[in-house]
Structure 1
């Protein structure tokens, strides 16, 4: 029985990490389509939140950060952090929760249009 319990806890950790990696990749891709750094950060945050919700990963203190200049050829780097609850694992001495993070990067398309001085 203890072995089954350990397997379930390990699976939860691996599953959470995979879902977090996927959310970071989706967020970086969404941010790479934006034309301004502010829009890239907003897109990364919205996409990561939606991806985690859709994946069914319940996070405490989820946070998403994105850095980019949004210039064609530059890189967007997104980091997603999530505190996952392992409450049932206290019997094994595993902490009740654990903060996991994932990072992904995407290149901003070199041939895309630039924002104009008027902001359009």
Structure 2
């Protein structure tokens, strides 16, 4: 009987330890989940920004003048980001149109760089920056036999 009373007292002492363990582990699990979500958002956004840069470079490579290539590339990048559901806090598209001034018959390229600031603040994770700036560059070949503008 004595051992049974001792046993029942030790069980009562351990009753609150599960709540303490949960109070310690649960915030850590939530923080890990938020970090995994932030990492996933950065990776998927990076892939989608890569695609937008490729679209912008391709669109710029089919235009004859640098001015029309720049405006078409910006429109293509914006449309690509919008179609893929990327909401950038700020977007910058820069085009290297030097390939459009190369004489016909020579191989030339056009380069597009898309910079997008992805918002992470909605994940509500303390210590994580509110946004992350991602940059992607893509190059597209200009048709060497297509007439180029001035």
Query: Normalised by the shorter chain, which TM-score bucket?
Result: 0.7 to 0.9
Q: TM-score, normalised by structure 1?
A: 0.88
Total equivalences in the alignment: 116
Structure 1 Cα separation of the partners of residues 148 and 115 of structure 2 = 31
Q: Residue 90 of structure 2 contacts residue 117 of structure 2 at CA under 8 Å; is this kept in 1?
A: yes
- The structure with more radius of gyration: 2
Distance, in Å, in 2 between the alignment partners of 1:103 and 1:111 is: 25
TM-score by length of 2: 0.71
Q: Give the drift of 1:68.
A: 1.1
Aligned partner of 1:50 in structure 2 is: 79
- Corresponding residue to 2:108 among 71, 74, 79: 74
Please state how far the C-alpha of 1:4 moved relative to its aligned partner: 2.5
121, 126, 130: which one pairs with 1:96? 130
What is the CA RMSD across the aligned residues, in angstroms? Answer: 1.6
What secondary structure sits across from 2:54 in the alignment? helix
What is the SS of the residue equivalent to 2:140?
A: strand
* Structure 1 residue runs without a partner (length 5+): none
| Conserved? CA contact 1:23–1:47, under 8 Å | yes
Q: Distance in 2 between matches of 1:4 and 1:90?
A: 11
Moved beyond 3 Å, runs of 4+ = none
What residue ranges of structure 2 are gaps of 5+ in the alignment? Answer: 1-28
Shifted more, 34-43 versus 85-94: the winner is 85-94
* Equivalent position to 2:139, from 105, 108, 116: 105
The answer to whether the 8 A contact 1:89-1:95 is kept is: no
Q: What are the equivalent positions in structure 2 for 1:26-45 lying under 5 Å apart?
A: 26-45=55-74
Rounded Cα–Cα distance in structure 2 between residues aligned with 1:54 and 1:86: 20
